[in-house]
Copies of this chain bind each other. A is one copy, B any other.
Amino acid sequence: MNLIKGKKMIVLGLAAVTLLGATLVNNQNIASAGSKETLVPVHETLVKKYKIISPRIGYNTKTGYIQIDGQDAFKAKKSANGNSYVAPETIKAAVEKIKKSEKKLTFVLVHGAWADASFFDETAAELRQQGHTVYVPEYPGHGSLKDMKNATHEQMTNAVADYIKKKNLTNIVLLGHSFGGTIIAKVSEQIPERISRLVFFDAFVPLDGESLADQLPAPVQQSFAKLAEDSKDGTIMLPFPLFREAFANTASLEEAKAMYANISPEPAGPLVQKLNLKKFYSLQIPKSYLYLTEDNVLPQNEDFSWHPKQSGRLGFFRYIEGRGDHMTTVHKEPEEIAEKFVQAGRE
């Protein structure tokens, strides 16, 4: 009997305790009747130890069971002082069952410029440990395909879209980091039906007809143009000081150097290419923006900024925030970043 649907669920515990005038003492465990077993308070343990929020907890007046999400979970062993008590292993088993039933996600992670698929190594490993499925496609001009320095934005987009189609992936969380934001926007125009949610992770969201470069301050645009011109093969290599201060600001010098050693010059064409995004802006796919607050690649002022400037183009979106910079944190705090990916990506 699912009482939550009828909205007649009786909320257990804390509020009731107050009404009864009882004093709720922290960690007040009690002994089970006729045994040496120690019991723990149901509501407080669910809320504080297991982070099951109060609105998920109910009581089935017919069966006498405590419910989680409207499902009978376990029976309390004892009531005292207006509280219900149960053996700790009972409550633990119930929560583990709930956790196991949580829906797992299929991620497709798209890195940005001056990066390759290894950008997501640690975070992907963490997500897989949690039971999620993770794909990290490479695209022309980067990593194993880094020699394709003439790659166009279309080729990059097609590579990702083809990867998804070839593997016949559906119901995916398509996440793009930085320049990857422009890739997933264009990929979503090709295969909207395969995507359950787009996640922009400190990512560019150009307006229709704009390029990535249009999102940058004019002096940065000019430096990039100069670097591309000087390169002779139409690529831009980030000077180390720029990388170190703006892309890896929270890193140690050793970390910054190690990350920098992995990157190769970025094809300049796709960065200045004006993108037709009319279809993207008409799609009804749910969208999230994940912002790390120390990411200063875009100036954090009212004219530029990942959030709310780039994020704002999404219109209605789910906002998720963490601390970290553009390039370091994904490597250094994979557990935190994986958690944010899940928060941003889930239904």
What is the interface of chain A, defined by CB distance below 8 A to chain B? 4-5, 7, 9, 11, 13-15, 17-18, 23-26, 44, 47-48, 51, 53-56, 69, 102-103, 117-118, 121-122, 124-125, 128-129, 242, 245-246, 249-250, 252-255, 257-259, 261-262, 286, 293-294, 296, 299-302, 307-309, 312, 316-321, 323, 328, 331-332, 334-335, 343, 346-347
Question: Please, which residues of chain B bring their CB within 8 A of the CB of A320?
Answer: 249-250, 294
Q: A308-B300, A312-B299, A318-B249 are in contact. Are A125 and B55 (CB under 8 A)?
A: no
A92 to chain B, nearest CB (A): 18
Question: Please, which residues of chain B bring their CB within 8 A of the CB of A301?
Answer: 302, 308-309, 312
Q: Is the CB of B48 within 8 A of A335?
A: yes
Closest to A135 in B: B18
Q: A47-B334, A286-B245, A299-B308 are in contact. Are A255 and B128 (CB under 8 A)?
A: no
Assembled-state Cα–Cα distance A250/B344 (Å):
8
Q: Is the CB of B14 within 8 A of A121?
A: yes
Interface-central residue, A53, A128, A331, A335, by most chain B CB under 10 Å: A53
Question: Please, which residues of chain B bring their CB within 8 A of the CB of A25?
Answer: 129
Assembled-state Cα–Cα distance A206/B108 (Å):
43
Q: Is the CB of B128 within 8 A of A53?
A: no
Assembled-state Cα–Cα distance A7/B124 (Å):
23
Assembled-state Cα–Cα distance A117/B55 (Å):
12
Q: Is the CB of B121 within 8 A of A258?
A: no
Assembled-state Cα–Cα distance A312/B11 (Å):
38
Closest to A117 in B: B15
Other than the given A55-B259, A301-B309, 11 more pairs (CB < 8 A) read A11-B118, A14-B125, A15-B118, A25-B129, A26-B129, A53-B255, A53-B328, A54-B118, A242-B316, A301-B302, A301-B308
